[in-house]
Amino acid sequence: MLYVGWRMLVGNHSKFLGIVVGLTFAGLIMTQQPGVFVGLMTRTFGFITDVALPDIWVMDPEVQFIDDNKPLPSPTLYEVASIEGVSWAKPLFKGFVTARLPGGGFQNCNLIGVDSTTFIGAPAVLLQGHINDLHQSDSIIVNQEGALDKLATPPRHPGDPKTPLQIGQRLELNDHRAIVVGIAKTSRTFQSQPIIFTTFERAIQFSPPQRQTLTFILVKAKEGENLQTLCDRIHRQTGLSAYTKEQFKDLTIKYYLKYTGIPINFGISVLLGFLVGAAIAGQTFYNFTLENMRYFGVLKAMGISNKVLLFMIVSQALFVAFLGYGLGLGVTCLCALLTQDSMLAFRFPYSLMLFSLGGIFVISAFSAILSLRQVFKLDPAIVFRN
């Protein structure tokens, strides 16, 4: 009888299309929007991901997220480096600087100062130039997105493309000359500001004067050292906060979730998509059942049991759910593919796939339950009423 149920479903092309389009729309909204949300949240800790080598980030206890700069006194670096279980500890400057562009414009940038001997904290992938070029005086490395867009020279004529910032070009950072020696590939940041990498000492020169300059201490644990134990030890001995990379990412995300309107805005969007998708799909599937009520009545009169009817209708609902979800997911993947490496943040972990799949099944189950209620209540004697 499953075959009969399936043919009843797909045989009515317009209704079938309506149900599938409804579920595809719901699937799309429930995958694309959360994907953008997760992508955006991932960007908040993009810099932590890029700095791959250290195991632990040490910072002022008041720091709440990666861009929250609360510099430490310089001697803290040596204090941390001397703690048992620490293989090495390197300084990292992270701040903001206003760059004056070759064309005369101004642009706020993230300024990263890395250890000048080991370059720990510097970008792992350089598209142009070499990391050792940072030894040259006034040298900086800029990220690709910044070089192509916000640090690029504006077109002379409207409509013409911008001229990307290139190696050898100069910027003015806080009245200091800076020469571009490399273009790096980095993760996009939440604020989408250009990132300028230089040595720790030079970053201090470029940035506005401040009493303390050590933003983070990057720590590598000795082999076999338990990271959490080491974090606790650093905290106990220095009073500073020490987080593993994952903990620091969580801290950053929690800050954005708690103090920005992003989750609630996306949440509303996803909820609306879910409700609209549920309304369209549920209504169409319910109408489909109502329109076929006479035939369900005929089948009941002929002796089909409620159990078999349940099986038929649940199978119909599952079939359209899978199809709609698959199509919705397909459109989302297509969008993700087309917007890859663009401004649009998108990330689609497996957990999100399960969440959206669950959502679609809730919609389908709800429609099926509504339909089943009507079919179970149906008096088979309806077949003799014309």
Partner 1 sequence: MKIAVSCKNLTKKFDSGSNEVIALQGINLDVMDGELLILAGPSGCGKTTLISIIAGILTQTSGTCDVYGQNIHDLSPLALCTFRSKMIGFVFQAYNLVPTLTSAENVGIPLMIQGMGHHEATEQGREMLKKVGLEDRADAFSSTLSGGQQQRVAIARALIHSPRLIVCDEPTSALDSENGLRVMSILKDLSMREKCALIVVTHDARTYSFADRIAKMEDGRILKIISPHEALE
Choosing from 253, 293, 310, 383, the residue that interacts with partner 1 (CB under 8 A) is 383
Does 377 engage in binding with partner 1 (CB under 8 A)?
A: no
Nearer to partner 1, 2 or 264 (CB): 2
The DSSP code sequence of 92-145 is EEEEEEEEEPTTS-EEEEEEEEE-TTT-TTS-SEEEEE-GGGGGSTTEEEEEHH
Q: Measuring CA to CA, which residue among 211, 167, 366, 222 is closest to residue 285?
A: 366
> Which residues from 1-40 bind partner 1, rule CB under 8 A?
1, 3-4, 7-8, 10-12
Nearer to partner 1, 294 or 373 (CB): 294
Alpha carbons 386 and 65: distance in angstroms, whole number: 70
Does 303 engage in binding with partner 1 (CB under 8 A)?
A: yes
Residue 383: Cβ-neighbour burial (10 angstroms; 0-12, 13-18, 19+): middle
Alpha carbons 218 and 225: distance in angstroms, whole number: 16
Choosing from 53, 308, 323, 344, the residue that interacts with partner 1 (CB under 8 A) is 308
- Backbone torsions φ then ψ of 21, nearest 5 degrees: -65, -40
Q: How many other C-beta atoms lie within 10 A of the C-beta of residue 25? A: 19
Q: Closest distance between partner 1 and the C-beta of residue 325, in Å?
A: 24
Which amino acid, residue 298?
V
Q: Closest distance between partner 1 and the C-beta of residue 324, in Å?
A: 20
Choosing from 21, 148, 253, 301, the residue that interacts with partner 1 (CB under 8 A) is 301
> Which residues from 260-299 bind partner 1, rule CB under 8 A?
294-295, 298-299
Stretch that binds partner 1, among 33-41, 240-248, 305-313, 350-358 (CB under 8 A): 305-313
Query: What mask of x and - would describe binding to partner 1 in positions 138 to 167, judged by CB under 8 A?
Result: ------------------------------
Nearer to partner 1, 230 or 313 (CB): 313
Stretch that binds partner 1, among 55-63, 81-89, 146-154, 378-386 (CB under 8 A): 378-386
In contact, 214 and 91? CB cutoff 8 Å: yes
Read off the DSSP letter of residue 61.
Answer: T
Alpha carbons 11 and 16: distance in angstroms, whole number: 8
Q: How many other C-beta atoms lie within 10 A of the C-beta of residue 191? A: 12
Nearer to partner 1, 6 or 366 (CB): 6
Residues that bind partner 1 (CB under 8 A): 1, 3-4, 7-8, 10-12, 294-295, 298-306, 308, 379-381, 383-386
